[in-house]
Structure 1
Amino acid sequence: MKIAIAQLNPTIGDLIGNAQKIFDAAEKAVEEGAQLLLTPELSLCGYPPRDHLLNPGFISKMSEQLETLAQQLPQQLTVLVGLATLNPHAEEKGEKPLHNSMALIEEGSIVTYFHKRLLPTYDVFDEVRYFEPGKQSNCFVIKEEQGKGILSPITIGVTICEDLWNDEKFWGKRNYAENPLEDLANNGADIIINLSASPYRVGKQKLREAMLRHSACHYGIPIVYANQVGANDDLIFDGTSIALNRQGKLVSRAHPFEDDLMIAEFSTRQQNLIPTAITPALENEEEEMWKALVLGVKDYARKCGFQQVVIGLSGGIDSSLVAAIARSAFGAENVLGVLMPSPYSSPGSISDAEALVKNLGIRNITLPIKSAMTAYDEILEPLFAGTEFGVAEENLQSRIRGNLLMAIANKFNYLLLSTGNKSEMAVGYCTLYGDMNGGLAVISDVPKTRVYALCRWLNQEQEIIPETIINKAPSAELKPDQQDQDSLPPYDILDEILHRFIHEHQSPNQIVRAGFSSETVQKVTQLVRRAEFKRRQAPPGLKVTDRAFGTGWRMPIASRIIHN
């Protein structure tokens, strides 16, 4: 039996468009001789739909669209479609109004629904806000023709995303009382399928494959994993759907970060999955992060209705990386780089920005800001007279640039990409209504040291980011001879402290005991807390690590907490 895995890129709420993607995949599956088609979690409405689920009209239209789709799908193909369904027991039992479900469609009819049993609430997930967990193990039987009219029944065990992530023998603990995998094994499943919308983070595919390999070996059951691809707001989905046989050996892998239709094949004689096409894994973390960021910015713009982007170019490494990502996502002709030199801009920075523009082949314009700075000085002179040049004057330069970029974005319907990295966002080394302006913060989850690593990886075969940009000391250039290290520790030290504090939740004292200066640690952790109000007003940023400043980051602004 051939199983087709539709690795789809849905748009949130586009029920008609998403249904068309499922239908197109079904036609291709039939051409490939498949008997069963799998689609990702909530494939009809896209994941995560968030508070669209509070709209009864949206749920009703989703149900209607499923009925229409079921009638259109090829009669000879069994299809699983993800959607939100009403919980009929919600009022009488005081339960949540919806289920996160998979509809089983056979011969043009909806046969039954399977409900997700484990609902995550950590990081970016908040599924218990909307859904009631399923109460029973999910199985169905499909019959494969063996010739001469003999039909061989195959029991398919159905899991939805998180249902696979609770095997205590792999994790060393249980996060939920139930283990759907164990239940399906006890119920005699011949194959376990998992229909996912699992967000990307760097290195996650290795973890997925290790977990699924363990589960397939432990239960002696082959596993087919179908994952969503594409980006929705801050979340990126890498796809990379896979199939493993009951020995835990990889037999199929789809392409990462792109739409795909993967075919897995189950042999009833061997009671096992047999090898088909295995797409090679990506070589390193820089390559996968690059592909994730390109897909993230491309989908964000496309799904929000933008075709062109604008970026402020300073001659620094952050804006250079964002410009390179944008060129890859949109093509050079759809990227406008804006150079906005001030009297404090070094000749080297201007020439570096010009060299970058030449390397990328993007459109560009230069808008000097000296006259605007003079105008602000004259307006503020009665109030600022007798005071020293300081942060207020430095920030004015950034805000002038931010206003110019927003004016261009508004005038020509461009998407403004902000260029701040995670290290800067963490400690507030950024200006509200200035360099933080934009519709998307492309690298706000990429630490400064990783920015350098990405640029060096990008330059492996030819110079894309000028070497002079990579090699020079980073500077905001808002006053004479300024360097980032005037205000911050060296980035290798800063990023390690930030990783321990933000990702590993270590206290300042723990970080100091790991060998860092007490004064530096106290300064950095205090800056992180003080910058919360800035992050709350920042544009959405693409999530590529396990702890991003996005929907999974829920820190109060006004708080007083003592870290030991």
Structure 2
Amino acid sequence: MRVALAQMKVVPGMPKRNVENMLSMISEAKNNGVQLIVFPEMCVGGYLLGDKWLDDEYCEYLMSFNEMLRKASEGIAIAYGNIFVDNEINLRNGDKEIHPNKDGRSRKYNAVYVFENGKPAKRKVENKILPEGIQPKLLLPNYRIFDDERYFFSLKDIARDFNVDLKEIVQPFLLNLDGKEEYVGVELCEDLWCEEYRENLNALNITKILIENGAETICNLSSSPWTFGKNKARDKRVLFLKKETGESFVPFFYVNCTGVQNNGKNIVTFDGGSTIYDNNGQPILFAKEAYKQELILFETNQKFENKFRNENTKIAQKYLAIIEGLKYLKDITGAVADPKVVIGLSGGIDSALVASLCVIAFGKQNVFSVNMPTKYNSDKTKSAAKFVADKLGIKYSVVPIQSMAELNEEVLDSADLDGTGKKLSVLNIENVQAKIRGTSLLSNLASKYGAIFTNNGNKLETALGYATLYGDVGGAIAPIADLTKIEVVELAKFLNKEIFQKEVIPNVLLPDKLWRFGEEQIQPSAELKEKQIDPMKFVYHCALLDAVTDYQKKSPSVVMQWFIDGVLHKKLDEYLFPITGENVGLDLMKRWGVTNSEEFLKDLGWFFPLVQKNVFKRVQAPPIIITSKSSYGYDIRESMLPFEKTTKEEELKRFILENIKEYTPRC
């Protein structure tokens, strides 16, 4: 059997464009003698469409493209993902019972469509419950950015509704490929990740059921976002299927989309990673390059050796994700050309990195930089900003705002709302400067030139609220808001060394591994008042934030227990080593003085309440490109709540104060 995996770029909300792409790939497959071509999950309209899935008319519109694809299946078998609104379930089953979705709306399936020679494919054993040539998804993810349970009815739900065993309705399709009959099982994305979905003490393993029912090949159609280590995770899942199925395991074809989608608050990248596995669950052929569309051709009787994946470093993979996310901006608006971008270039490392990334994504001709100094901005930072702009070859403008800040202060001081004659505080005056830069200048300059402006905040600032609402909490997109500060530094080093191969982001902005700066270097500062230095314990707080926001989120009491057990330095290194390549946890604790128990608790008492207190800023922030396993936006779903210590936290605090003066590391 000659198979093609269509690792295609899917553009959400653009079904005409997607189907044109599919038809082109089908034509190419036919020209190469392919008998079966397999496309990704929800490749017609995209996967992350939000509540568009609740719009029956829009779903019917997406389904209208099925006819075009059915006709294209003449002379070939095709499998692809699309929505199916099951309005004829009563007619098929000859009953008068109502069969709605679980929310009372129309029953919808995230489904695989299988056509061959212009007709829906037949199952090995047909049933009246499921429509011809259509297989719904069994496992509906309901975590991170996924909301399948909100919109779709699963294969498991169908079996329960009709009181039948899954094995009765999970059947492979019978395809006649050049005169030879082949039983092909199809499944969707999460169906591969079945180990955690349990029923009657067993995994809900559709792959095993399909093989037991005669499948000679399994095709998994995915819309699976990139995260670091995702390919290894996919390989591990296939090995689990092999273990569950034993010697009867069959070749497994995994096809994933490329491109970028969004949920309104996050920009989500899809890396592809399409892979063919042999009947031992080992990868033998995979896509050549992440994020690239590719038609992968494969003869089932070919002999391949097992392949080893050469993966990029963590920071290199995050770089690719950010560039893909930025390039997606034109797809959000349906534009043909890349956007023009206005960047506030302060002379700090964050804005220098964002400017560099935007030049790589959009070209230097589309990037405009603006430096907006007051009397608090040093010559060093102004020189650093100019250095970056010159090295990138972008337009650079200096717009001083000291007079605007003074005028705003005068006007606001004269407004006596409560009759007390109250004047602006130092913090108020700092925020006025930030708001002038973000709201008065950057947003209006972007509007003037038909451009967008960027949010330059990193993840640590986003978490702690170290930014001004309606000032630097603004912009169309937040390219680095899922990078901690140490990741910002490491990505800057990566760009200088690997991409630019010269100093573009100034070395004076780059600290050593313990966040120490030389005399001539520039420490991070908002420069909103005299001698201001950012208050964070950098690198230490970065690792702490990773622990707090990780997929398996850690509470203050967990961090305190690590301190008590003498393993906090090791836990810090677990988060830092994949980025820095060094174990620096204990040295960091000493550098910031948090080996002292009182200082450690004081810092925790500052850090955690600030994270909770600043939810109100995060919910108003622009969309963030996801680069971690748990990003602010819609990945981490937050409510605006006060901070309150738990009883356990109070007990652990007392224990530390009464029993531990200095941290004792355990090897």
TM-score by length of 1: 0.92
Deviation per CA, 1:462-504: give whole Å up to 9, x if none: 22322122243211111111111xx22x211111221222223
Contact 2:4 2:296 in 1 (8 A): yes
Aligned to 1:165: 193
1: CA distance, partners of 2:395 / 2:242: 52
Helix, strand or coil for the counterpart of 2:59? helix
Describe the SS at the equivalent of 1:208. Answer: helix
Distance (whole Å) between structure 1 residues aligned to residue 258 and residue 374 of structure 2: 42
Partner amino acid, structure 1, of 2:57: G
Tell me the CA shift for residue 152 of structure 1.
3.3
Q: Deviations over 1:258-279 (max 9, x none)?
A: 2222223312xxxxx6439979
How far 1:176 sits from its partner (Å)? 8.7
2:372 maps to 1:335: no
Q: Residue 421 of structure 1 aligns with which residue?
A: 458
User: SS of the residue aligned with 1:458?
Assistant: helix
Q: Report matched runs for 1:125-524 at 5 Å.
A: 125-134=146-155, 135=159, 136-145=169-178, 151-167=179-195, 178-216=204-242, 219=245, 220-233=249-262, 234-254=267-287, 255-267=289-301, 274-275=303-304, 281-304=310-333, 305=335, 307-383=339-415, 387=423, 389-403=425-439, 404-460=441-497, 461-471=501-511, 472-484=522-534, 487-488=535-536, 490-503=537-550, 504-515=552-563, 517-524=600-607
Alignment CA distance shift 1:302-1:469 (3 Å):
farther
Compute the displacement of 1:455 (Å).
Answer: 1.1
- 1:79 touches 1:105 (CA, 8 Å); kept in 2? yes
CA deviation map 1:263-305 (0-9, x unaligned): 23312xxxxx643997963321111110110001111233323
Distance 1:64 1:316, change over 3 A: same
Contact 2:609–2:643 at 8 Å: present in 1 too?
no
The residue that corresponds to 1:49 in the other structure is 49
Contact 1:239–1:256 under 8 Å retained in 2: yes
Query: Percent identity among equivalent residues?
Result: 30
Unaligned ranges ≥5, structure 2: 91-96, 122-132, 160-168, 512-521, 564-593, 595-599, 650-667
In the aligned structure 2, how far is the partner of 1:423 from the partner of 1:175? 41
Corresponding position of 1:148:
none
Cα distance in 2 between the residues matched to 1:176 and 1:238? 31
Deviation at 1:2, TM superposition (A): 2.1
Distance 2:259 2:404 in 1: 41
- Equivalent residues of 2:412, 2:424 under 8 A apart: no
Decide whether aligned partners of structure 1 residues 538 and 174 sit closer, same or farther in structure 2, where only a CA change above 3 A counts: farther
**Cα distance in 2 between the residues matched to 1:14 and 1:534:** 32
2:540 and 2:3 map into 1 onto residues whose CA distance is: 49
Name the CA distance, whole Å, in 2 between partners of 1:110 and 1:24. 21
Aligned position for 1:4: 4
**Distance in 2 separating the partners of 1:387 and 1:22:** 64
Shift of 1:113: 0.8
Tell me the alpha carbon deviations over residues 315-361 of structure 1, each in whole angstroms, 9 at most, x when there is no partner: 11111111111111111111111211221111111111111112212
Whole-Å separation in 2 of the counterparts to 1:286 and 1:173: 39
Structure number with bigger Rg: 2
Q: What residue in structure 1 maps to residue 114 of structure 2?
A: 104
Letter in 2 for 1:102: V
Corresponding residue number in structure 2 for 1:531: 614
Q: Who is 2:37 aligned against?
A: 37
CA–CA separation in structure 2 for the residues paired with 1:175 and 1:540: 40
| Deviation readout 1:385-413 (Å, 9 max, x if unpaired) | 77575211111111111021111222222
Give the deviation of 1:549 after TM superposition.
0.8
Change (3 A) 1:401 1:138: farther
Rounded to whole Å, the distance in 1 between the matches of 2:424 and 2:349 is 30
For 2:226, what is the secondary structure of its paired residue? coil
Instruction: For residue 177 of structure 1, report the CA deviation from its aligned partner.
Output: 6.1
* Paired residue type of 1:550: G
- Give the TM-score normalised by structure 2: 0.78
Aligned CA distance change for structure 1 residues 225 and 175 (closer, same or farther; 3 Å): farther
Distance 2:543 2:236 in 1: 27
C-alpha displacement of 1:559: 4.6
* Matched AA of 2:508: T
2:574 is the counterpart of 1:542: no
